[in-house]
Amino acid sequence: MCAILSKRIDFLAAFALSISISHCLMNAAKLAVSYRLQSVQKVAQIYPPPALCYTPSPKSKPSLLETQRHKGYVMKFEFATATRIIFGEGVLREIGALAAPLGRRAFVVGGSSRQRLTPLLTLLAAQGIETVVFSVPGEPTIDLVLEGVQQAHAANCDLVIGMGGGSALDAGKAIAALLTNPGDPLDYLEVIGRGQPLLTPSAPYIAIPTTAGTGAEVTRNAVLAAPTQQVKVSLRSPFMLPRIALIDPVLTIDLPPAITASTGLDALTQCLEPYVSNQANPLTDALCREGMQRAARSLRRTFEDGGDTTARADMAIASLCGGLALANAKLGAVHGFAAPLGGMFPAPHGVICARLLPLVMAANVRALQERSPTSPMLARYAEVAQILTGDAAAEANAGVRWVQALCAALAIPPLANFGVTEADMSAVVAKAQKASSMQGNSLVLTSEELTQILHQAL
């Protein structure tokens, strides 16, 4: 009897257990279905059914992914850079072996000093690579680049090597692109041209920077002056990313203090502007933080002691980080102004950026506080201040003051020294508003705010 009762109890317990399990399973199934439905709904929100196999229309509203932002960065992005980045003290010695597989006759684009190219030319000759040298004495114009293309064609060059500051690197990049994309360069130029995409990959291009500023060794554009239109414009294409960026900080050691200061402040600007741009993304953020930290601790040191190799290496990395960031996010109002100012006046790019940086930072912080006090950009400006000052509690304006003090210590000259006057204000502001970098600024600055910045920079 007991045995029968016990079996019955076991049976009832098993039955209850099975009901309980099936109940749990049903709940789990319900949960799974509900979760799946939510996921499907979320996916459907992002990609409406017809859009699952669609061609996006440029006129359609931005998708949820495109507009989603956390802490001010975009969650739809691309990251592209030079095929190889080779960094280190003394890496120039590897140039022969690196260049040999890419070509046998190199078109070498350098700055005004041919002497600076001597080690490069010797190393290439030792590898049996023939060279034709082309000098870029100032910031490159469209005509100068066309002359370079003609000479490179005439000499049957199959490889381009740029060695110098941003001007030489950009000129080399444009020459490599136009060697394989014949026709009128206006077909491909932004703003003043037709802005058509390049159709063919550039000739193999190796970029070797000798300043720490522009990061042009890893960018996909070449800034060219158009003297007739008095503006600087970009030739831009993913095809223009160099095949090799060879960064040897030793090459920057003999830069004079004034050039160290202005190029270094350009590097800092190019790490700071993408960080507070409306196209920042998690990858560029990491690079910007790294670059700002290194520039903050080493820019003054390189200015005071050019032979400080540790500080020089820091600045070469800051410049590289800036180039990587600006090529994959956007810049801001400093570079928005730099395009027309550099086209209209004989002021070096680095000096223009250095002079404008603290003024644009101050204007952006003030405008954000007045018009968009909950913007994540304000928190980003506070982070910038914390990185620059090393004070974890620093607020946005402390960063502005830190950059102001740095520019004063580095003796950055006013723009009036280069012939900019009050009478030029409205023309510069009108052109700056159209510049592509201005579109990346933390927020839209008014004409009055832009004019005020320029007024203070004279």
> Residue 157 or 453: which CB sits closer to Zn ion?
453
Which residue reads 């669609």 in tokens?
Answer: 54
Question: Helix, strand or coil for residue 162?
Answer: strand
What letter represents residue 429's amino acid? Answer: V
Please tell me whether residue 266 binds Zn ion under the rule CB under 5 A: yes
Which residue reads 């620059």 in tokens?
Answer: 388
CA 137 centroid distance within chain? 25
By CB under 5 A, which span of 96-104, 191-199, 218-226, 259-267 interacts with Zn ion? 259-267
By CB under 5 A, which span of 4-12, 37-45, 72-80, 262-270 interacts with Zn ion? 262-270
Please tell me whether residue 273 binds Zn ion under the rule CB under 5 A: no
By CB under 5 A, which span of 154-162, 249-257, 264-272, 367-375 interacts with Zn ion? 264-272
> Residue 108 or 360: which CB sits closer to Zn ion?
360
**100's tokens:** 């040999």
> Residue 266 or 383: which CB sits closer to Zn ion?
266
Backbone angles phi, psi at 372, to 5 degrees: -150, 60
What letter represents residue 221's amino acid? Answer: N
Listed residue (426, 431, 419) closest to 458, CA to CA:
419
By CB under 5 A, which span of 41-49, 57-65, 265-273, 439-447 interacts with Zn ion? 265-273
> Residue 217 or 266: which CB sits closer to Zn ion?
266
By CB under 5 A, which span of 44-52, 258-266, 284-292, 382-390 interacts with Zn ion? 258-266
Listed residue (109, 81, 205) closest to 166, CA to CA:
109
By CB under 5 A, which span of 69-77, 83-91, 140-148, 261-269 interacts with Zn ion? 261-269
> Residue 117 or 407: which CB sits closer to Zn ion?
407
Dihedral of the CA atoms 292, 297, 303, 309 (nearest 10)? -100
Question: Helix, strand or coil for residue 21?
Answer: helix
Listed residue (257, 259, 440) closest to 360, CA to CA:
440
Question: Helix, strand or coil for residue 132?
Answer: strand
CB atoms within 10 A of CB 49: 9
Residues 294-313 touching Zn ion, rule: CB under 5 A, are none
> Residue 89 or 190: which CB sits closer to Zn ion?
190
Tell me how far, at minimum, the Cβ of 325 lies from Zn ion, in Å: 11
Tell me how far, at minimum, the Cβ of 292 lies from Zn ion, in Å: 15
Q: Which residue is nearest to Zn ion (CB)?
A: 266
Residues 183-212 touching Zn ion, rule: CB under 5 A, are none
Size of the site for Zn ion (CB under 5 A): 1
Tell me how far, at minimum, the Cβ of 101 lies from Zn ion, in Å: 32
Length of the chain: 458
Tell me how far, at minimum, the Cβ of 332 lies from Zn ion, in Å: 11
Please tell me whether residue 170 binds Zn ion under the rule CB under 5 A: no
Tell me how far, at minimum, the Cβ of 156 lies from Zn ion, in Å: 34
Residues 413-452 touching Zn ion, rule: CB under 5 A, are none
Q: Output the DSSP codes for 128-145.
A: T-EEEEEE--SSPBHHHH
Cα separation, 340 vs 361, in Å, equals 19
- Interface residue list for Zn ion (CB under 5 A): 266
